Homo-oligomer: A and B are copies of this chain.
Amino acid sequence: MRNPRSHCPVSLALEAIGDRWSLLILRDLIMRGKRHYQDFLNSEEGIATNILADRLGRLERQGLISKSQDPEDKRQFRYSPTQKGLDLLPVIVEMARWSKKYNPHLDPASPLLRRLDADNEDFMKQILSQFKETFSK
């Protein structure tokens, strides 16, 4: 960003991240091992294809994800989070933790919610090591 509206670090982060769709794409990449356009399109939030294309471009320009030819199928692209994108995991985890507290109808037996009981550091290490496993395949 050449002309941020504010030098407040909270505001700068919000400008870089963009909107909820961008964070949901990062969630898919980091926590769900999704890598392809079609995978993001199939997420339960039902992102529209034009919004998805726009947000992927935005995330790439912000240096949060990178795009490369898929080595297994050269007709398609494969997306990965960059280190800068991975470093947003604490923001995503704090959102999940907050939701757990304020949405009592969520199934406490779900694997993600159970793991949220662990301390943050452990939980994030688990997600990152799982991520590395998926992406090294």
Please report A residues at the B interface, Cβ cutoff 8 Å: 5-17, 19-20, 23-24, 27, 31, 43-46, 84, 87-88, 90-92, 94-103, 106-107, 112-113, 116
In the complex, the 3 A-B pairs of residues with the closest C-beta atoms, listed nearest first: A9-B99, A13-B95, A14-B20
Number of copies: 2
Contact B99 A46 (CB under 8 A): no
Q: How far is the CB of A20 from chain B (nearest CB, A)?
A: 4
SS class of chain A's interface: helix, strand, loop or mixed?
A: helix
Q: How far is the CB of A131 from chain B (nearest CB, A)?
A: 15
Contact B20 A8 (CB under 8 A): no
The residues of B that contact A92 with a CB separation of less than 8 Å are: 10
